[in-house]
Amino acid sequence: MESQGKPPTEKQFEILIRMHSDANRGLRVYHVYEKMKKFGVKPRVYLYNRVMDALVKTGHLDLALSVYGDFRGDGLVEESVTFMILIKGMCKCGRVDEMLGLLDRMRVSLCKPDVFAYTAMIKVMVSEGDLDGCLKVWEEMRRDRVEADAMAYVTLVTGLCKGGRVEKGYELFREMKEKGFLIDRAIYGVLVEGFVEDRMVGAACDLLKDLVGSGYRADLGIYNSLIKGLCDVKRVDKAYKLFRVAVQEGLGPDFATVNPILVSYAEMRKMDNFCELLAQMEKCGCPVIDDLLKFFSIVAEKEDGVMMALEVFEDLKVKNYSSVAIYNILIASLHKFGKVKKALSLFDEMKSFDFQPDSSTYSSAIMCYIEEGDLHEACACHNKIIEMSCVPSIAAYRSLAKGLFNVGEIDAVMLLVRDCLASVTSGPMTFKYSLTILHACRSNNAEKVIDVLNEMMQQGCPPDHVIYSAIISGMCKHGTIEEARKVFSNLKERKLITEANMIVYDDILIEHMKKKTADLVVSGLKFFGLESKLKAKGCKLLSG
C-alpha cells in the first residue's frame, strides 16, 4: 500500500486490531500496534484502550503498561475506561500497590471510581483468590465514601466465605442487614457452608433460624451442609431431625444428605438406626443400592474403614442389601490394604451365595491369588474373564505377568503382553516398551537394549518383570546368554536390581534358553523326518 502511495490509515489498523482482539490474539494486536508506530500513525484514545484491553485480557499486563506509557507520551488524556482496564489487569496479577497508585492518579486527573468499578475490581480479585487485595479495595471504596450496593457485598461475602474467612464475611453480612439490603438465600448458603467448614456448627444453625425468620425456606444445599456439620461434631440425632425436616418440606434428599448420617451410624455401630434410615430413603424414592455403593466406596477408601464396612455389610446381607458391585468394592479394598486372605474368603462367599462374579471381581481375585502364590487359580480367573468376552484390569494384567515370570513362564508373559495391548486402548508403558526391546534383541547387542531401557526410564517408566521377560525372550530367540547377562549386569550396576534378583533372573534365563534349544532340536527332527526314528530307538533302549 505504501509503495503505491497509499499508506495505511488508522481506520485500517483499527480493523486489524479489532479482528485480532476478538480472537484473543494479544501479541498479534501488539504487533499491529508496533506497525502503526512504524508508519507514524498515532492512535486515538479509543484505539489505545482497545490495544491495552486486548493485552490485559490475554495476560500481557507489562506490554499493556508500556502501551500506556506511549499513551501518556502522546499527551492524551485518560478516560475512566483507560484506568479501569489497567486497574483490573493489576488486580488479576495481584499487583495491589501499583493498582492503588493508579487509583490515586485516577482520582486526581479524572474522578474517583464508582461502586460498579469497585465491584468489578473485587470480582477480579475474588476469582484470583486474593482476599487481602479484596479487603484493601474495600477500604479504598470506604475512603472514597462510595456506598457499597448489594452486589458489592454479595461478591465480597461469597469470596471471603469460600476462601476460609467466614467470620469477616459474617461481619459484612450483618452490615447488609443493618443497611436493610434484601439478602439472597445464596448468601445464607455460603455462610452456613463456611461456618460448617470451620466447625462453628452452632453459628450455622443460628443462621438457619435467621433464614427461616426472614421468610425464606432453606434449600437442600443448606440442609446438606448443616447435616454434615452436625455429624462432624457427633450430633447425629439433630442431623437426623434435619433430614426428616427436609423430607417433610419435599426437598428430595440425595446421597449428600444421608451419607454423613450413614457414616455416623456405622461408626457408632447403630445398625438398627442405619437400616431405619435406608427404609426412609426407599420411601423418598432414593436409589438405595446405588447410594450404598457410594457409601462403601467412600468408607473403604481408608484402611480403618474397611473393617467397619465389612461389619456393616454383614448386617446388610441378611436384609438383602447386597450386590456384586458392593462385593467388588470390598474385595478390592481388602486387597489394597493387604488383607488378601479376607478378600479371597469374601470372593468364595460371594460365589456360594449365587452371585455371579464379573470381570472386576475376577481381576481383584487374580491379584489376590498371585500374592498368595496360587498361580493356577489366578490363571483360572483370567480364563473366566476371557470366557465372558471381557478384559481384565490393567492391574490384573501386571500382577499375572509378574506371577508367570516368577515361575519362568516367559512365553506366557509375552503372550499376555500382546493380549493386553490388543484388548485395551492404552496399555501400560512397560508392556509397549517390551515389544521395542524384543526388536532391539534381534541385533544381539546389549548396548541397543540398554539404549531402549534408558529411553524408557527417561519417560519415568522403570523396568519391571515384563521388561525382564522381554530381555530373556528376545535374547534367547535372537541373541545369546552372554548379551542378556550384560543387560542385567548394567541394571545391577545402576542399582535397579539387586544381586539376589540377578541370580534368580540368570537361572530363569538359562532354563528358558534350554527350553528354546530343545524346541529347536525337536523342530529340526520334524523337518528331517527323524522324530519317529528317535522315538523307536528310545523304545528299544527302554525295553533293553
Contact 371, 340 (CB under 8 A): yes
Q: Residue 356 domain-assigned?
A: yes
**The C-alpha cell of 72 is what?**
501518556
Q: Verify that 294 and 376 share a domain, yes or no.
A: yes
Q: Residue 166 domain-assigned?
A: no
Report residue 482's pLDDT band, with 50, 70 and 90 as the boundaries: very high
Lowest mean pLDDT among 325-334, 375-384, 510-519: 510-519
Q: Residue 170 domain-assigned?
A: no
Q: Verify that 443 and 376 share a domain, yes or no.
A: no
Q: How many residues does the chain have?
A: 544
pLDDT of the residue at 544: 39
In the chain, the percentage of residues whose pLDDT exceeds 90 is 41
Q: Across residues 473-479, what is the average pLDDT?
A: 89
Say if residue 283's pLDDT is above 70.
yes
**Rounded Cα gap, residues 464 and 481, in angstroms:** 19
Give the CA-trace dihedral at 463, 422, 445, 461, to 10 degrees: -20
pLDDT of the residue at 523: 55
Report residue 352's pLDDT band, with 50, 70 and 90 as the boundaries: confident
Task: Please write the tens of the pLDDT for every residue from 235-246.
Answer: 999 999 999 998
Residue of 68, 63, 53 lying closest to 31 (CA atoms): 63
Burial class (CB in 10 A: 0-12, 13-18, 19+), 163: middle
User: Considering 76, 92, 123, which residue would you say is the last residue of a domain?
Assistant: 76
Number of structural domains found in the chain:
3
Task: Please write the tens of the pLDDT for every residue from 23-55.
Answer: 888 899 889 888 888 888 888 888 888 898 899
Say if residue 429's pLDDT is above 90.
yes
Local structure of 281: helix, strand or coil: helix
* Residue type at 437 in one-letter notation: I
Range of the domain at 374: 287-392
Other C-beta atoms lying within 10 Å of the C-beta of residue 532: 10
**Rounded Cα gap, residues 314 and 189, in angstroms:** 38
Contact 48, 64 (CB under 8 A): no
**The C-alpha cell of 484 is what?**
542378556
First to last CA, the chain: 108
Task: Please write the tens of the pLDDT for every residue from 220-233.
Answer: 999 999 999 999 99
- Between 112 and 313, the higher pLDDT residue: 313
Say if residue 414's pLDDT is above 90.
yes
Q: Residue 32 domain-assigned?
A: yes
Name the pTM for this structure.
0.74
Contact 51, 28 (CB under 8 A): no
pLDDT of the residue at 524: 52
Give the CA-trace dihedral at 320, 323, 329, 334, to 10 degrees: 60
Report residue 537's pLDDT band, with 50, 70 and 90 as the boundaries: very low
Q: Verify that 354 and 443 share a domain, yes or no.
A: no
**Rounded Cα gap, residues 528 and 507, in angstroms:** 32
- Between 267 and 214, the higher pLDDT residue: 267
Q: Across residues 486-500, what is the average pLDDT?
A: 92
**Rounded Cα gap, residues 192 and 184, in angstroms:** 13
Say if residue 364's pLDDT is above 90.
yes
Separation in Å, CA 60 to CA 17, 261, 475: 15, 50, 56
Burial class (CB in 10 A: 0-12, 13-18, 19+), 457: middle
Residue of 323, 315, 209 lying closest to 270 (CA atoms): 315
Say if residue 541's pLDDT is above 90.
no
User: Considering 14, 44, 76, which residue would you say is the last residue of a domain?
Assistant: 76
In the chain, the percentage of residues whose pLDDT exceeds 70 is 95
**Rounded Cα gap, residues 32 and 481, in angstroms:** 67
Contact 329, 293 (CB under 8 A): yes
Q: Residue 63 domain-assigned?
A: yes
**Rounded Cα gap, residues 359 and 372, in angstroms:** 20
Other C-beta atoms lying within 10 Å of the C-beta of residue 122: 25
Phi-psi group of 200: left, alpha or beta (phi > 0 → left; psi -120 to 50 → alpha; rest → beta): beta
Q: Residue 350 domain-assigned?
A: yes
Q: Verify that 331 and 382 share a domain, yes or no.
A: yes
**The C-alpha cell of 539 is what?**
523304545
Q: Residue 65 domain-assigned?
A: yes
* Residue type at 383 in one-letter notation: N
Which residues have C-beta within 8 Å of that of residue 253, sequence separation ≥ 6? 220, 223, 243, 246, 247, 281, 284, 286
> Residue 195, Cα to own-chain centre: how many angstroms?
27
Q: Verify that 374 and 446 share a domain, yes or no.
A: no
Q: Across residues 250-261, what is the average pLDDT?
A: 89
pLDDT of the residue at 162: 87
**The C-alpha cell of 46 is what?**
479509543
CATH number at residue 322: 1.25.40
Burial class (CB in 10 A: 0-12, 13-18, 19+), 308: middle
Q: Residue 182 domain-assigned?
A: no
Contact 185, 175 (CB under 8 A): no
Contact 349, 341 (CB under 8 A): no
Q: Verify that 437 and 542 share a domain, yes or no.
A: yes
User: Considering 359, 392, 425, which residue would you say is the last residue of a domain?
Assistant: 392
Separation in Å, CA 398 to CA 27, 321, 358, 363, 389: 48, 33, 19, 11, 19
Q: Which residues of 198-226 are buried (b: 16+ CB within 10 A; e: fewer)?
A: bebbebbbebbeebeeeeeebbebbbbbb
Q: Verify that 437 and 383 share a domain, yes or no.
A: no
